[in-house]
Every structure is written in structure tokens, then in C-alpha cells.
A = this chain, B = another copy of it.
Amino acid sequence: MKVIIACKLIDEITPEDCDYIGVDKGALFLARQGIHMVCAIGDFDSVEQEDLKLIHQFSREVVCLNPIKDDTDAQAAIEKADSLGYQQMEILGATGGRIDHELINLRLTMQYPGRVILKDDRNLIMAYPAGTHHVKAGDYPYFSFFTQSEDVLTLHGFAYPLERRRITCYDLYTVSNQLIGETGTFINEKNPVLLIRSRDEKKDS
């Protein structure tokens, strides 16, 4: 079962048939859209009392975190979703603001390979456990691979193929690859790899 976790920076949403968790201002955003949540979580220190009432109306459970360490909101939400048994977590509104928070969210994504997706207008991000993975072309045409630890990466069906290439967290070249055809395969041999699929801004923006 999939849950959408709406974080502070969310500014639009297309409702889906799945469950929702709202994080801080993200919970207020969902409530204002009339979307019911299984849980609202956050320190809510930037939310007015009246808005908090609205959040309570739309949420089965409200978890108030200690405001001293507000940067762990997304982490708390992911752990909550995990404890509730959700296998897939799609996180919206967690990118594009403070880069320190963004990096922490990327590290969190690495801790839940195959389960957490970070998504915004330009980026679709997921970690893959060590293994062989097949990917398809889609709305986000650029493929960029990032590792935390050293790894060995193979890419087939890409414009810039690799054959058992050692990659580290210092490399600059595993970025902006594209599929040649409709599908491609990558093999990461040792550890989870972060795949960032991205697209350029639209011509009219």
C-alpha cells in the first residue's frame, strides 16, 4: 500500500487513490484541499491555532514533535509511515528549499531502497538496493547515479554505457545519462545507489 507524504514545500497536488500523511505545513495544505490523512506530523510552530483545528478535522491522528529539532520532520514522517506498514512512500514538497534539508532527505531515501520516492516538478528520486534493475523511458529523461560508498556500476541501453566501472562519492561523470531506446538496465553490485531521474524546465517557464 502506498502513502503520499506531503511536506512543507508542497504547492500543488493531484489527488490519488492512496493514503496520505501531512508534515507540518504540508498537513495544512492537504486539509485545505479537503484531503483526509492517516496522520499529521510536525512541530506545527509555524501553523496558526485555527489552522491546527482544521488539520485535526482532516487527520485520524496528529503527532506533535518537539520544535527544537524541526529538521527531522520528514524523518519522523517516514518512520511513522514505516511503522504503519506502508511499503511505498512518495514524498512531495521536500525539495527545492534549504539544501541541508534536501541532503538529509536524500540520505533518508538511501536508507529505504525501493520504498521511498522523492518527487517534484524536475526530479524523481529513488534508491535501488544492490542488484540488477530495469528502467523504462518516461517523463524524466535524464538518469544520474550517485553512491555514498564505493560501488561497481554497469549501464546497458544508455547513451553513455558503463561496464563494471568503479564509482565513488567523488565522481562527477555519472550524471545526465539517457536511454537509447525504451528500456535500459543497470547493475549496482555492492550497495544501494541513488537514481535521480530529472528533466529540464519547460520551455514556457
A198, B122: Cβ atoms under 8 Å? no
Q: Interface residues of A: mostly helix, strand, loop or mixed?
A: mixed
User: A196 and B107 in contact (CB under 8 A), knowing A72-B172, A175-B71, A176-B71?
Assistant: no
Q: Which of B98, B103, B104, B198 contacts A200 (CB 8 A)?
A: B98
Residues of B within 8 A of A142 (CB): 98, 100
CA distance A141 to B124 in the complex (A): 30
A122, B95: Cβ atoms under 8 Å? no
CA distance A172 to B199 in the complex (A): 28
A144, B100: Cβ atoms under 8 Å? yes
User: A96 and B96 in contact (CB under 8 A), knowing A104-B175, A146-B103, A172-B107?
Assistant: yes
Residues of B within 8 A of A97 (CB): 122, 201
Q: Which of B104, B125, B169, B175 contacts A101 (CB 8 A)?
A: B175
B107, A198: Cβ atoms under 8 Å? no
> How many copies, total?
2
Residue of B nearest to A107 (CB): B172
A169, B198: Cβ atoms under 8 Å? no
Answer whether residue A75 sits at the interface, using C-beta atoms and an 8 A cutoff: yes
**1/0 contact string of A44-72 vs chain B (CB within 8 Å):** 00000000000000000000000001111
Answer whether residue A139 sits at the interface, using C-beta atoms and an 8 A cutoff: no
CA distance A192 to B1 in the complex (A): 42
B176, A99: Cβ atoms under 8 Å? no
CA distance A169 to B191 in the complex (A): 14
In the complex, the 9 A-B pairs of residues with the closest C-beta atoms, listed nearest first: A100-B144, A71-B176, A98-B198, A100-B196, A99-B123, A148-B169, A71-B175, A100-B175, A100-B198
A-B contact pairs, 13 of them (CB 8 A): A98-B122, A98-B123, A98-B200, A99-B106, A100-B123, A100-B144, A100-B146, A100-B175, A104-B172, A107-B169, A107-B170, A107-B171, A169-B169
